[in-house]
Structure 1
């Protein structure tokens, strides 16, 4: 499905604004709003915890459409660590994700890295990679367990 060119949007003014819009889209279950946060580039990439690497807008859209078919996703981010240059920004965040399933509300704690590039349309997401963070203590930055991969 071809993507429609969007005008420069208010959420493209900074990486923080694009990130806020991305998480708002998750909360609303709005795939069009969510995809407007992504760069128009075939090389964009998304990895969900335990999932495979999704490359390109079509694969990413399909994954989020499948998630939103189950309902919206309540995500609260904290502990944002930012590294920014003139044309790129990397944000590492702690995510508390809440999903309502038939047996009740489930919460997960994730660590996510969001990479943004400055494009003609403003700051856009080019990579989102999330992995399990275990517990609130595991995302505090004080955990000493080392994992090698």
Structure 2
């Protein structure tokens, strides 16, 4: 799908701007806006909690279309931890999610990692990996210590 100047301009800011646009698009249930946040590369990857790995724009679009078919995803990002270099950024995000399923609403706390690359069109998402958060994160406690692993 070709980028329009408006689409490129709207997403050309910082990784934080792109992340806000991504979560706004999820809230709105707008698959086109969700996909506008992604890079146009065949090797982009997305993993939703309990789901298989989706590789490439078509597979990622289908996964988000399925996820959003009942409407927007009520997701509130919190406790964002950022690492940024010249042309890449990694955000670890604690997401508070409420989604409408055919059998009613479900709520969860999800730990997501969003990876952004700076492209000629601006910052774009190249990986989104989300999994159910553990009890420590679900209770809203701050991480202990400075241990990476």
Residues 122 and 24 from structure 1, CA distance in 2 versus in 1: closer, same or farther, beyond 3 angstroms?
A: same
User: Match of 1:145?
Assistant: none
User: Match of 1:48?
Assistant: 48
User: Match of 2:80?
Assistant: 80
User: Match of 2:62?
Assistant: 62
Deviations 1:90-116 (A, max 9, x none): 000000000123554321000000000
Residues 102 and 32 from structure 1, CA distance in 2 versus in 1: closer, same or farther, beyond 3 angstroms?
A: closer
Separation (CA, whole Å) in 2 of partners of 1:17 and 1:32: 17
Separation (CA, whole Å) in 1 of partners of 2:141 and 2:58: 31
Separation (CA, whole Å) in 2 of partners of 1:139 and 1:10: 35
User: Match of 2:4?
Assistant: 6
Separation (CA, whole Å) in 2 of partners of 1:10 and 1:47: 25
Number of aligned positions between the proteins: 142
Say whether the 8 Å CA contact 1:28–1:72 is kept in structure 2. yes
Say whether the 8 Å CA contact 1:6–1:36 is kept in structure 2. no
Say whether the 8 Å CA contact 2:70–2:102 is kept in structure 1. no
Say whether the 8 Å CA contact 1:81–1:92 is kept in structure 2. yes
Deviations 1:2-36 (A, max 9, x none): x2223322232100000000000000000110100
Q: Unaligned stretches of 5+ in structure 1?
A: 143-147
Say whether the 8 Å CA contact 2:78–2:95 is kept in structure 1. yes
Residues 66 and 139 from structure 1, CA distance in 2 versus in 1: closer, same or farther, beyond 3 angstroms?
A: farther
Say whether the 8 Å CA contact 2:93–2:111 is kept in structure 1. yes
Q: Unaligned stretches of 5+ in structure 2?
A: none
- Normalised TM-score (structure 2): 0.88
